[in-house]
Chains A and B, each alone.
Chain A
C-alpha cells in the first residue's frame, strides 16, 4: 500500500513531464532530447528562488512558466523552424531535430554548469510528514502531486474542450489534413512546443521540492518522459497518464525492494517490455 501510494505520488509528477513531451512530440512533431534540461532549468529556478529569495516554489511557477514559454518559443522559432523548412521528408526532420536537440541539451547543461556549478542541489521545503491511510508521507510529495494533478487536469480540459486544444488534437492525428481545415500549423506547432517546454519546467519545480538534482541529470528525465510517452502511445494523453502511474509505481517498487539507485533500470525494463510486445503503446492500434 505504501509503495502504491508513493508510486502514485511520483507518477503524478511524471504525468506532468509526459504531458510536456507529448505536446512537443505528439503535436509539434519535435523529438526533443533537451526536454530534461528544461526540467532541470525549472528546478534550478525554484531552488534559486527559494534559497536566495525565500520565495515558495509554487510562487516560482508564476515566473517560470512565462520565461520557459518564451524561451521555448524562441528555440522553436529560430532553431527548429529552419530544420522544419530544410527537411525533405519526415524521416529527415526526425534525424535533424534529434541531432539539434541533442546538441541543445549539451549546451543547456553547459550553461547550467556555468551558472550553478556541478554540485547536487536540494532545499528543504514542506519536509514534514503527512498522514495518508495511517502511514506518513512527505508533505512536499503530497503537495507536488496535488499540484501536478491540478495542472494535468487543466491541460486535459484545455485540450479536450477549447478550440486551440481541438486544433492541437487535429495536428496530432494528421498535420497535412489539419492545414487543409485552416489550422495554422506552424503557429500551432510553435505554441504546442512552447507550452510543452513550460509544462516540463513546472514539472522540474515539482520534482525539485522532494528530489536532489544536479545540472547533468536532465537526460534521465528525458528518458523517463520518452518512455512514458511511448508506453502510453504517442499523442495519447490518457495513455500517457496511465503509463506515468505505471512507471511511478514500478520505480518505487524497485527502489524499495532492490535499490534506489536502479530507478532507470526499472524504466528500461518497462521500455523493453513495451518494445517487444506493444510498440504502438498501451492503448494504441497498430498503424499500417
Chain B
C-alpha cells in the first residue's frame, strides 16, 4: 500500500468511529431516527451495487431477502440465541440467492429481472399460506431487550463489513473476472472464466447482506406481518438510492443514500398519502437525468475540467 492508501484508510476508519459515536450524543433521538435508516440503506444499497454494478443484472429482490431475514428472527427468537439467528438469516439469504441464481443467471438478464420482480410477492404468499395452515396466526411478535442504539451499532458494523467485502472482491480474481465479464462476456468465456458462477457467488454475497439486515431490523418492528416484511417498496428504494449515487464505485451508493433518506423523511411526513407516486416519479427523474449517478456525473465533471486545463498531466 502507498502512503495515500494509508491516508484514506485512516479517514474511513475515523468516519466509522464518528458514526458509531453518534448515539452517545445526549438527546440524539431525532438524529438517530435519521441515522438508523441511513445506515440500513447504506448496507442494502452497497450490497445491491456489489452485484448489480459489475454484472448489469438488476435485482428487484432486496425486499425478499430482507423479509426472509426478518422472518428467521421472528420465528426463532424464542428458542434460539439472537447471534445464532443472525447467522441463520445470512445463511438463508445465501441459499435463496444461490437457488435463484442457479435457475436464472445462466440466462440473459431479462429472466433474472422477471424472477426477482415477483420473488418478494411469492415468498409473502408462501409465508402467509404456511401461517394460515400450520401456525394459525398471521403475525409474529419479536420481543427482545435489544435497543435502538444496539441495532444501529450492528448496522454500522455491517456497513464496515460490506465495504470490506466489496474492497476485497475488487482486489481478488473474482473482481477481475467481473470486470472482464462486464466488458465482453464471450471473451470472458474464452479466458476460462465461469461467468454464471461468478454472478451466482456475487448474488449470494448480496443476498446474504440483505437477509442479515432484515434480521437486525426485526427487533425494531416488534410485530412482523408478511405484507410489511416483504414490501416491494424496499427493493425499489434500494435500487433508487444505489442508482442515484452511482454503482461503479464502492462508496457510490452511500452518496445516494444520505440525500435520498433525508429527502424521503421530508416527503413521507409532508405527503404521507402520495409516497408511492413520488417514489415512482423521483425514480424516473434519476433514470432519465442522472443515469450514471451523482458520482458518475462528478467524475465526468472532473475529467472535463482536467481536459480543459492545458498542459495537465493525465494517463
- Is the CB–CB distance between A102 and B283 below 8 Å? yes
- Shortest distance between the CB of B59 and any CB in chain A (Å): 11
Contact A102 B60 (CB under 8 A): yes
- Are B277 and A114 touching (Cβ within 8 A)? yes
Query: In the complex, how many angstroms separate the beta carbon of B150 from the nearest chain A beta carbon?
Result: 33
Q: Is the CB of B276 within 8 A of A106?
A: yes
- CB-based contact A113/B276 at 8 Å: yes
- With A95-B109, A98-B58, A275-B111 as given contacts, are A265 and B126 in contact (CB-CB < 8 Å)? yes
Choice from B111, B132, B236 contacting A261 with Cβ under 8 Å: B132
Cβ of B313 within 8 Å of any chain A Cβ, yes or no, is: no
Cβ–Cβ contact B276 & A109, under 8 A: yes
Closest to A271 in B: B115
Chain B residues near A99 (CB-CB < 8 A): 58, 239, 243, 283, 287
B125 within 8 A of A: yes
Q: Which residues of B contact A262 (CB under 8 A)?
A: 125-126, 129
Flag whether A104 is at the interface (Cβ < 8 A). Answer: yes
Q: Are A227 and B125 in contact (CB under 8 A)?
A: no
A73 CA to B243 CA, complexed, in Å: 27
Whether A264 touches B284, Cβ cut-off 8 Å, given contacts A106-B236, A275-B104, is no
Whole-angstrom CA separation of A71 from B281 in the bound complex:
17
State whether A261 touches B125 (Cβ < 8 A). yes
A19 at the interface (CB under 8 A from B): no
Within 8 A of B (CB), among A201-221: 216, 219-220
The distance in angstroms between the C-alpha atoms of A184 and B239, with both chains bound, is 35
Q: Which candidate, B116-124, B137-145, B201-209, is the interface stretch facing chain A?
A: B116-124
Please classify the interface of chain B as helix (H, G, I), strand (E, B), loop, or mixed, using the class held by over half of its residues: helix
A216 CA to B107 CA, complexed, in Å: 29
Query: Nearest Cβ in chain A — how far from B234, in angstroms?
Result: 12
Whether B122 lies near A264 (C-beta < 8 A) is yes
Is B288 an interface residue when CB atoms closer than 8 A count as contact? Answer: yes
Q: Does B279 contact A (CB under 8 A)?
A: yes
> Residue A265 contacts which of B107, B117, B122 (CB distance < 8 angstroms)?
B122
Q: How large is the interface on B (under 10, 10 to 19, 20 to 34, 35 or more residues)?
A: 35 or more
| B214 at the binding interface (Cβ < 8 Å) | no
- Docked pose: A106 CA to B279 CA in angstroms: 7
B117 near A259 (CB under 8 angstroms)?
no
Please report which residues of chain A, range 186-204, place their CB below 8 angstroms from some CB of chain B when the two chains form the complex: none
Q: Are A113 and B128 in contact (CB under 8 A)?
A: no
A96/B129 in contact, CB under 8 A: no
Bitwise interface map of A from 219 to 251 toward B, beta carbon under 8 Å scored 1, else 0: 110110011001000000000000000000000
Say which residue of B122, B125, B232, B284 sits within 8 Å of A103 (CB atoms): B284
Q: Determine if A110 is an interface residue (Cβ-Cβ < 8 Å).
A: yes
Proximity bits, B277-311, A CB within 8 Å = 1, else 0:
11111011001100100000000000000000000
Nearest to B56 among chain A residues (CB) is A95
Contact of A219 with B232 at beta-carbon distance under 8 Å, contacts A33-B117, A106-B279 already known:
yes
Given contacts A265-B125, A271-B115, contact A91 B287 (CB under 8 A): no
B277 / chain A contacts, CB cutoff of 8 Å: 106-107, 109-111, 113-114
Q: Do the beta carbons of B121 and A219 come within 8 Å of each other?
A: yes
Closest to A227 in B: B114
Query: Whole-angstrom distance between the alpha carbons of A224 and B250 in the complex?
Result: 35
- Do A110 and B276 touch (CB < 8 A)? yes
> Residue B11 at the A interface, CB < 8 A?
no
Query: How many chain A residues touch B (Cβ–Cβ < 8 Å)?
Result: 46
**At the interface, yes or no: B180 with Cβ under 8 Å from chain A?**
no
- The CA of A109 and the CA of B281, in the complex, are separated in Å by 11
> Which residues of A in the span 74-107 have a Cβ within 8 Å of any Cβ on B?
79, 82, 86, 91, 94-96, 98-100, 102-107
B114 near A106 (CB under 8 angstroms)? no
| Smallest beta-carbon distance B91→chain A, Å | 22
A220 touches B111 (CB 8 A): no
B287→A103 contact, CB < 8 A: yes
B4 CB-CB contact with A under 8 Å = no
The CA-CA distance from A261 to B276 in the complex, in Å, is: 25
Is A264 within 8 A of B274, CB to CB?
no
Q: Is A40 part of the binding interface, using a Cβ–Cβ cutoff of 8 Å? A: no
Distance, CA A174 to CA B133, complexed state (A): 50
Tell me whether B110 and A279 are in contact (CB under 8 A). Answer: no
Query: 1/0 per residue A261-273: CB within 8 Å of B?
Result: 1111101100110
Report chain A residues within 8 Å CB of B283. Answer: 99, 102-103, 106-107
User: For the complex, what is the distance from the CA of A110 to the CA of B277, rounded to whole Å?
Assistant: 4
Q: Which residue of A lies closest to B103 (CB)?
A: A275
Chain B positions within 8 Å of A96 at CB level: 287, 291
Given A99-B58, A114-B274, A268-B118, A230 and B111 contact (CB-CB distance below 8 Å): yes
Q: How far is the CB of B102 from chain A (nearest CB, A)?
A: 9
Whether the Cβ atoms of A279 and B107 lie closer than 8 Å is: yes
- Those of B82-128 within 8 Å (CB) of chain A: 103-104, 107, 109-111, 113-115, 117-118, 121-122, 125-126, 128
> Is B312 located at the chain interface by the 8 A CB criterion?
no
Question: Is B273 on the interface with A (CB-CB < 8 A)?
Answer: yes
A114 to chain B, nearest CB (A): 6
Give the residue of B103, B132, B133 whose beta carbon is less than 8 angstroms from that of A272: B103
A261 to B60, CA, bound (A): 22
B117–A82 touching, CB < 8 Å: no
What are 30 pairs between A and B in contact, CB < 8 Å?
A31-B113, A33-B117, A91-B56, A91-B109, A96-B291, A98-B110, A102-B60, A102-B283, A103-B280, A103-B287, A109-B277, A109-B280, A110-B277, A110-B280, A113-B273, A114-B274, A114-B277, A216-B276, A219-B118, A219-B121, A220-B118, A222-B117, A223-B121, A227-B114, A259-B129, A261-B125, A262-B129, A265-B129, A275-B104, A279-B111
